[in-house]
């Protein structure tokens, strides 16, 4: 970035642009300038938030230089672009991650310290954008990081929710949802693009007409139109010049203010349309337990899909004369079924707005889309009632019926007389209330379908999407999930990252398989000691956080046993609670029992309408209240529920964990990514053969993984044979004592029946076979305790877990998508040196078009 302006015999003078320069002096000057000119403050009145914003804008300047050059390069080189459509993007805080990816973390820390401030304190000023619920949104964020790091042309598309996933508070042990107003202080990372506004139609009816050539056409006459305004967030790659956009759409009314209604004194109606329209991007995942909530969810999905596809068509037509090669310019990935309505919307745009014939439009659509399935749970495979579709998206319902008609004609040709197969494959599910099966629409309208772990993909092919796998085996791929090592090791665990780099160099940050070289040091006493010290430092930090936020003293020398993820019955947080109660019962029977000290740490949010999950949170906190205060326990057991689990809290927790709880019922978890983050940071896993656990165990070595429980096949056979949980309750004394302690009200004084729904469900149905897996889990936990007592052996197991996680870098996942599904190549970005001579505007185009 430096440009030699002149030189003498004694010195060279270099001039840097304050917006792009990377030297310490330039960064200091830019930091001060942004405080003064953008925040309008000086040191006498500036707040920590002001200093954070000034620093963020300084870093953003350096991103924008790369961002603009990246966009220009893609346009000039006419490259194929990956478009990732996702209802969630759980990005985490931007400042620390951007500093790491730009290689500015050490310099900026020095700049901030020289100013009399603390960088970590400024990073804490940033709101954690809650634009996702959990793994789905965080996976999307990791993928964007890897796409940019691998220099892959890409755009992320989603919704700019005004209120993200709720802020979780714990009151009297219960989850309380509080609005997540993450935008209340503004967002220095985003750039509004009102010039790229699009219109999105909703409701109304359709009318048939014939175009001038006599072709049959349909016109959609909407009830209302919503404006989509894009906001771009630059997403940089690590140690590269590539900066790709995350484009999030904000909904606004087409007419914000009804002046006639206002003048007539009807003040509510004057702003009603504005309020109604803005509701679409108001909150992530509104409660869909009501008809209004379901309609809003579908409106949200359609809103961002339509806006994104219109945006892509506009980008395409700036340089192309026809849409017939649209699929050659864009590869669109549907992240689960939330954006699946894109299949019908692209057909609508191609047919109705741009006049293509059906066969051409359908070929473009199928070749453009690929679909990732993220669930095996039937209730999570989205279905929308036909009546709702007809009311909200009448044209799309017509198109879906036509797509389905043509598809089923082919099915009946391929499988004559097999009406049951046609019924199973149909996009429309018949019944009391006809429904649109969104997963089926995605399968029919895509050229590729993938699962996110080896077992998950096999179960998709053999069960969930079996008929589609028989029909199109060539469409199915496995793409085991991954996570970015830049955020989850380098940023989250800097001491460990430094140790790894000292031993094997920096190459591992872009090729995580390089960490295999650490195996050479497992017998190096000094290396192992440093490994343990770093883990202990991280545990001390988390212990301090627990004390500050929960007022619970925990021992950093105890085993940190951690389960942080979305609260759901299939993830079986309550199985871990049964283990805690079992240990507690042993202590109560023999207070002097030799028991390994453990700190049990839970975190995660339950969906607001999910009663049983919220009751599990209450149970965890109720058990904590009793166990933590019982003098017989003498601090050997501590139970902690950390509220509001998010990306930033995860960055504290993963490096501190000794044991990673991945205990879902086999066959229920698609993949999991928390399991990868734990293992990369040296935690050992206790888990079932479910999701990516299977592959983690294969990579780490089965001797370095604590395996328990039934397999997916055994779970199926157990249920098929008539599973009776009471048999396990009656024949296992410790299990019976644990459940009875809950049932008798020992953890709910004065409310004996508080946890009756959990007890009744376990003893009556136990759909996730906790009781069947209980004894295996308890015995496996005893193996964990024994292993942890052998400090040197545990350290070696920890090192081997971390060193063998190369497969689970999201870089590997993205490379596989690029090669096998998207057909996209890297496009390196070259930056020009700064020169004063070139630092002037030379306008030749306006809005991308030549000047008049």
**C-alpha angle 104/514/679, rounded to 5°?**
85
Beta strands 684-687 and 706-707, pairing class: parallel
Nearest C-alpha neighbor of 485 from the set 137, 99, 101, 129: 101
Q: Give the integer Cα–Cα distance in Å for 201 and 280.
A: 13
Nearest C-alpha neighbor of 483 from the set 807, 230, 19, 46: 807
Q: Which of these is catalytic: 571, 697, 741, 796?
A: 571
Computed from CA positions of residues 379, 382, 387, 391, in that sequence, does the dihedral angle turn out positive or negative? positive
Q: Which two tokens stand for residue 527?
A: 């290396």
Q: Give the integer Cα–Cα distance in Å for 545 and 307.
A: 42
Q: Give the integer Cα–Cα distance in Å for 476 and 471.
A: 11
Other CB atoms closer than 10 Å to residue 724's CB: what's the count? 15
Q: Give the integer Cα–Cα distance in Å for 653 and 642.
A: 10
Active site residue 565: yes
636 Rama sector, left if φ>0, alpha if ψ -120 to 50, beta otherwise: alpha
Please name every residue paired with 706 in a beta bridge, in sequence order, or none if there are none: 686
**In a 10 Å sphere around its CB, with 0-12 CB exposed, 13-18 middle and 19+ buried, how is residue 210 labelled?**
exposed
DSSP-assigned letter for residue 462: I
Q: Which of these is catalytic: 80, 160, 677, 741?
A: 677
Sequence-distant (≥ 6) Cβ neighbours of residue 667 within 8 angstroms: 376, 455, 459, 690, 712, 715, 716
Q: Which of these is catalytic: 673, 685, 688, 813?
A: 673
DSSP-assigned letter for residue 834: P
Beta strands 243-253 and 224-236, pairing class: antiparallel
Rg (CA), the chain: 28
Q: Which of these is catalytic: 94, 374, 598, 605?
A: 374
Q: Give the integer Cα–Cα distance in Å for 130 and 137.
A: 9
Q: Give the integer Cα–Cα distance in Å for 462 and 441.
A: 19
Please name every residue paired with 250 in a beta bridge, in sequence order, or none if there are none: 229
Phi, psi of 282 (to 5 degrees): -75, -50
Q: Which two tokens stand for residue 379?
A: 């209730």
Q: Give the integer Cα–Cα distance in Å for 316 and 542.
A: 49
Active site residue 668: no
Residues 334 and 446 sit within 8 Å (Cβ to Cβ): yes
Q: Give the integer Cα–Cα distance in Å for 237 and 100.
A: 10
Q: Which of these is catalytic: 437, 479, 530, 565?
A: 565
Q: Give the integer Cα–Cα distance in Å for 141 and 342.
A: 21
Active site residue 673: yes
**C-alpha angle 56/57/58, rounded to 5°?**
90
Active site residue 571: yes
Q: Give the integer Cα–Cα distance in Å for 209 and 215.
A: 8
**In a 10 Å sphere around its CB, with 0-12 CB exposed, 13-18 middle and 19+ buried, how is residue 170 labelled?**
middle
Q: Which of these is catalytic: 247, 461, 566, 605?
A: 566
SS3 437: strand
The H-assigned helical ranges of 509-610 are 525-550, 573-589
Q: How far is CA 427 from the centre of its chain?
A: 27
Residues 515 and 508 sit within 8 Å (Cβ to Cβ): yes
Q: Which amino acids are annotated catalytic?
A: 374, 565-566, 571, 673, 677
């Amino acid at each position: 970035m430096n440009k030699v302006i002149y030189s003498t015999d004694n010195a060279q003078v270099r001039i840097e642009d304050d917006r792009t320069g990377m030297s310490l002096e330039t960064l200091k000057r830019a930091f001060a300038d942004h405080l003064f000119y953008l925040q309008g403050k000086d040191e006498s009145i500036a707040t920590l938030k002001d200093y954070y914003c000034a620093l963020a804008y300084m870093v953003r300047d350096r991103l924008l230089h790369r961002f603009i050059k990246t966009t220009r390069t893609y346009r000039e080189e006419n490259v194929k672009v990956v478009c990732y459509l996702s209802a969630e993007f759980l990005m985490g805080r931007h400042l620390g991650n951007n500093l790491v990816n730009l290689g500015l973390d050490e310099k900026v820390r020095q700049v901030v310290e020289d100013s009399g401030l603390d960088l970590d304190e400024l990073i804490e000023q940033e709101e954690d954008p809650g634009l996702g619920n959990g793994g789905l949104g965080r996976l999307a964020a990791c993928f964007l990081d890897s796409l940019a790091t691998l220099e892959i042309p890409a755009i992320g598309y989603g919704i700019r929710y005004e209120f993200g996933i709720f802020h979780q508070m714990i009151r009297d042990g219960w989850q309380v949802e509080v609005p997540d107003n993450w935008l209340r202080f503004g967002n220095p990372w985003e750039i509004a693009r009102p010039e790229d506004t699009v219109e999105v139609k909703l409701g109304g009816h359709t009318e048939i007409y014939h175009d001038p050539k006599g072709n049959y056409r349909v016109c959609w006459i909407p009830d209302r139109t919503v404006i989509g305004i894009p906001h771009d967030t630059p997403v940089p790659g690590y140690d590269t010049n590539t900066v790709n956009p995350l484009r999030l759409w904000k909904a606004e009314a087409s007419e914000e203010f009804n002046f006639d209604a206002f003048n007539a004194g009807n003040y509510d109606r004057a702003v009603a349309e504005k309020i109604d329209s803005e509701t679409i991007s108001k909150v992530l995942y509104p409660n869909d337990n009501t008809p209004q909530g379901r309609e809003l969810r579908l409106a949200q999905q359609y809103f961002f899909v339509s806006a994104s596809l219109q945006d892509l068509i506009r980008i395409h037509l700036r340089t192309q004369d026809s849409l017939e090669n649209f699929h050659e310019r864009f590869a669109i990935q549907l992240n689960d079924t939330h954006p699946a309505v894109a299949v019908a919307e692209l057909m609508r745009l191609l047919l109705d707005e741009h006049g293509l014939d059906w066969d051409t439009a359908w070929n473009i659509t199928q070749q453009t889309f690929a679909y990732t399935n993220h669930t095996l749970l039937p209730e999570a495979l989205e279905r929308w009632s036909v009546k709702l579709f007809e009311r909200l998206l009448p044209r799309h319902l017509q198109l879906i019926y036509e797509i389905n008609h043509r598809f089923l004609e082919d099915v009946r040709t391929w499988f004559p007389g097999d009406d049951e197969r046609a019924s199973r494959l149909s996009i429309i599910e018949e019944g009391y209330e006809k429904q649109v099966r969104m997963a089926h629409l995605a399968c029919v309208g895509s050229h590729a379908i993938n699962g996110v772990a080896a077992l998950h993909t096999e179960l998709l092919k053999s069960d969930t999407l079996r008929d589609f796998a028989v029909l199109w085996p060539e469409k199915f791929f496995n793409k085991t999930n991954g996570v970015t090592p830049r955020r989850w090791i380098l940023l989250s665990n800097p001491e460990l990252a430094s140790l790894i780099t000292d031993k094997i160099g920096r190459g591992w940050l872009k090729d995580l398989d390089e960490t295999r070289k650490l195996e050479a040091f497992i017998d190096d006493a000094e290396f192992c000691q440093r490994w343990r010290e770093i883990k202990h430092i991280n545990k001390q930090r988390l212990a301090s956080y627990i004390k500050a936020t929960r007022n619970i003293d925990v021992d950093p020398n105890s085993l940190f046993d951690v389960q942080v993820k979305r609260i759901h019955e299939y993830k079986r947080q309550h199985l871990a609670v049964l283990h805690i109660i079992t240990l507690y019962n042993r202590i109560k029977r023999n207070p002097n029992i030799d028991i390994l000290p453990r700190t049990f740490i839970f975190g995660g949010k339950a969906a607001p309408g999910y009663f049983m999950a919220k009751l599990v949170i209450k149970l965890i906190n109720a058990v904590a209240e009793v166990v933590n205060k019982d003098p017989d326990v003498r601090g050997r057991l501590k139970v902690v529920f950390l509220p509001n689990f998010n990306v930033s809290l995860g960055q504290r927790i993963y490096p501190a964990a000794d044991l990673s709880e991945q205990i879902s019922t086999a066959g229920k978890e698609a993949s999991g990514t928390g399991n990868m983050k734990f293992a990369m940071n040296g935690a050992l896993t206790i888990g079932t053969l479910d999701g990516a656990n299977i592959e983690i165990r294969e990579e780490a070595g089965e001797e370095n993984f604590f395996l328990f429980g039934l397999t997916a096949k055994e779970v199926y056979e157990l249920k098929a044979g008539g599973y009776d949980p009471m048999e396990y309750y009656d024949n296992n004394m410790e299990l019976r004592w644990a459940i009875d302690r809950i049932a008798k009200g020992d953890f709910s004084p004065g409310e004996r029946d508080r946890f009756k729904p959990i007890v009744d469900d376990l003893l009556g149905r136990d759909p996730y076979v906790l009781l069947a897996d209980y004894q295996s889990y308890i015995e496996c936990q005893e193996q964990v305790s024994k292993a942890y007592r052998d400090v040197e052996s545990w350290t070696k197991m920890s090192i081997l877990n971390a060193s063998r996680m190369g497969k689970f870098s999201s870089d590997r996942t993205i490379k596989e998508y690029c090669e096998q599904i998207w057909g996209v190549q890297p496009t390196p970005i070259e930056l020009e040196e700064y020169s004063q001579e070139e630092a002037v505007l030379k306008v030749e185009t306006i809005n991308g078009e030549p000047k008049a």
